Amino acid sequence: MKIHFLIKVKYMLKIKSYFQRPEKGYDPVPLAYAQKYTDFEFKKVDSELVNKIGAFSNGFANKTLLDLGAGPGQYSIEFAKQGALVTWHDISKNYLEIASQKSRGEKMNIKFSLGYLESAQGKFDILFNRICWYYCINDYKFAGLIYSLVNSGGYGYIIVNNENWLFNKLKTEKWIKRVYLSINFWLNDFFDIKFIHIHPSHKKLKKVFSQFHFTYINIEKEKLNTVISFKK
């Protein structure tokens, strides 16, 4: 009985996703928040990061690129400016409208695709995923999806807020929330049971990516993030 309950709860995020459909108007990001995040993020686009990814993946020109969980599209636009054929994918209609408006008028190639991270489809030369990993339903399955979305010989660049980010955030929370988030973190990290959107540890990310074959992979801790760069 208890085990059954645990199994059902383990799939809570998946069950929720059946009912909360972006194509039927579900948007987890309120417009006011989306606008604030957009203003903040467009001011601090990291051109060094864009150049780094360009150098790592042998240039962007005419390469298909998936910006997975792309938000307001600040990086989608940068990649498209450099000649990439970009697909923006995100759950938020508010961000879709913002990103399409920001890219309008400029001659660039961006396709828009609305949906859960898990509903992304296709094969791409480059996959970019920045600070939205924790919204995935399951870390192992999401890594598998990422792997399958990249062409053989293609590249991935993934930036994940890791446990350092989470523990830093916990410092500002009330004790009850600290306990709640800590329990969920340990459940996900040790038992792969994910009830809520919670950050994975650097160690778990290493384990998750060790199940695939890559021509090259580098997994590095950079302060609050884990950065995963690979060639398939």
Ligand X SMILES: C[S@@+](CC[C@H](N)C(=O)[O-])C[C@H]1O[C@@H](n2cnc3c(N)ncnc32)[C@H](O)[C@@H]1O
Name 74's Cβ contacts closer than 8 Å, sequence gap at least 6: 38, 41, 42, 45, 102
Site size for ligand X, by CB under 6 A? 17
Select the residue interacting with ligand X from 9, 16, 28, 218 (CB under 6 A): 28
Structure tokens at 120: 């992304």
Q: Kindly state whether residue 71 participates in binding ligand X, applying the rule CB under 6 A.
A: yes
- Cβ proximity to ligand X, 197 vs 207, nearer residue: 197
91 is a contact residue toward ligand X (CB under 6 A): yes
Of the residues 12, 31, 49, 131, which one makes contact with ligand X according to CB under 6 A = 131
Contact 139, 154 (CB under 8 A): no
- Give whole-number Cα distances, 67 to 7, 54, 71, 80, 196, in Å: 32, 14, 9, 11, 23
Task: Compute how many other C-beta atoms are within 10 angstroms of the C-beta atom of residue 78.
Answer: 22
Q: What is the token pair recorded at 46?
A: 């990291």
Interface with ligand X (CB under 6 A), residue from 11, 26, 42, 135: 135
Residues 152-191 that bind ligand X (CB under 6 A): none
Q: Does 116 bind ligand X (CB under 6 A)?
A: yes
The residue among 80 and 132 lying less far from ligand X, judged by its C-beta, is: 132
Q: Which stretch binds ligand X (CB under 6 A): 55-63, 129-137, 162-170, 220-228?
A: 129-137
Shortest approach of ligand X to residue 175 CB, angstroms? 26
Asked whether the beta carbons of 128 and 66 are under 8 A apart, the reply is yes
Residue with Cβ nearer ligand X (90 or 163): 90
Of 207, 72, 91, residue with least CA distance to 139: 207
Q: In what order do the strands lie in the sheet with 225-231?
A: 110-114, 85-90, 64-68, 124-130, 150-161, 225-231, 216-222
Minimum distance of ligand X from residue 131's CB (angstroms): 5
Please report whether residue 130 would count as binding ligand X according to CB under 6 A.
yes
User: What span, in angstroms and rounded, lies between the C-alpha atoms of 205 and 133?
Assistant: 10
Nearer to ligand X, 71 or 154 (CB): 71
Contacts with ligand X by CB under 6 A lie at 28-29, 41, 69-71, 75, 90-92, 95, 116-117, 130-132, 135
